[in-house]
């Protein structure tokens, strides 16, 4: 019996809570026509600002996508100018090669062929120098691990220890960045002969 009484009290309390009481009823203030017009104006401005925000966000997103696409294209085609400068050099090498294969070159013609190939080499070096490529000349200079790669050491009295005595492969820098270190042989003091 006690249980049913308590259930009854709970259901009555729930019913009372769902019915509006004077404390739960919102107070609606009477708006004057001026206030109502001002609210409408503010709502219209808020809608306008919201639309502008959405358009600006869409423009920003489109800009980001376009910039990313342009960066990818720039990376893919960054070497176009260099390649256009190298094409004539390639053409000259092909002409020199065709000449050596089709024509009997007399002994006197070898000198002119060598001069032509030297001119092509100078043309190629000029194009690469224009792009900022710089050769690293290591011969006779002190060994510098930031520019040189020691492939071996040679015991000698002819050069001070740590000096480059032979350059095996040229090194190159692009402006201030090392592209490839020069492969070098470095001088080393001769070891003392073993005592007898």
CA 29, CA 27: separation in Å to the nearest integer?
6
How far apart (Å, rounded) are the C-alpha atoms in residues 56 and 46? 15
| pLDDT-derived band at 176, boundaries 50, 70, 90 | confident
pLDDT at 26 (0 to 100) = 56
Alpha-carbon distance of 51 to 129, in angstroms, equals 54
The predicted pLDDT at position 25 comes to: 52
Pairing of strands 148-155, 177-180: unpaired
Residue 19 has pLDDT above 60, yes or no: no
Average pLDDT over residues 85-107: 76
Residue 170 or residue 14, greater confidence: 170
28 versus 70: which is more confidently predicted? Answer: 70
What 3-state class would DSSP assign to 63? Answer: helix
Token reading at 125: 């070096």
> What span, in angstroms and rounded, lies between the C-alpha atoms of 190 and 196?
17
Domain range 134-189, its CATH number among 2.60.40.10, 2.30.22.10, 3.40.980.10, 3.40.470.10: 2.30.22.10
Pairing between strand 148-155 and 164-169?
unpaired
Backbone angles phi, psi at 46, to 5 degrees: -60, -40
Confidence of residue 87 (pLDDT cuts 50, 70, 90): confident
DSSP code at position 12 = H
How many residues are listed for the chain in this entry?
196
């Amino acid at each position: 019996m006690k249980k049913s009484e308590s259930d009854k009290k709970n259901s009555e309390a729930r019913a009372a809570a769902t019915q509006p009481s004077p404390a739960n009823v919102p107070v609606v203030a009477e708006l004057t026509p001026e206030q109502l017009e001002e609210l409408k104006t503010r709502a219209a401005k808020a809608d306008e600002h919201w639309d502008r925000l959405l358009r600006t966000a869409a423009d920003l997103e489109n800009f980001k996508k376009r910039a990313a696409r342009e960066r990818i294209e720039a990376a893919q085609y960054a070497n176009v100018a260099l390649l256009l400068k190298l094409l004539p050099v390639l053409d000259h090498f092909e002409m020199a090669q065709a000449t050596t294969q089709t024509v009997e070159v007399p002994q006197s013609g070898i000198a002119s062929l060598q001069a032509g190939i030297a001119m092509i080499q100078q043309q190629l070096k000029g194009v690469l120098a224009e792009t900022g490529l710089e050769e690293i000349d290591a011969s006779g200079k002190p060994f510098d691990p930031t520019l040189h790669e020691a492939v071996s050491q040679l015991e000698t009295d002819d050069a001070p220890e740590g000096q480059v005595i032979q350059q095996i492969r040229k090194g190159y820098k692009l402006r201030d960045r090392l592209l490839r270190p020069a492969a070098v042989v470095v001088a080393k003091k001769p070891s003392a002969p073993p005592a007898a």
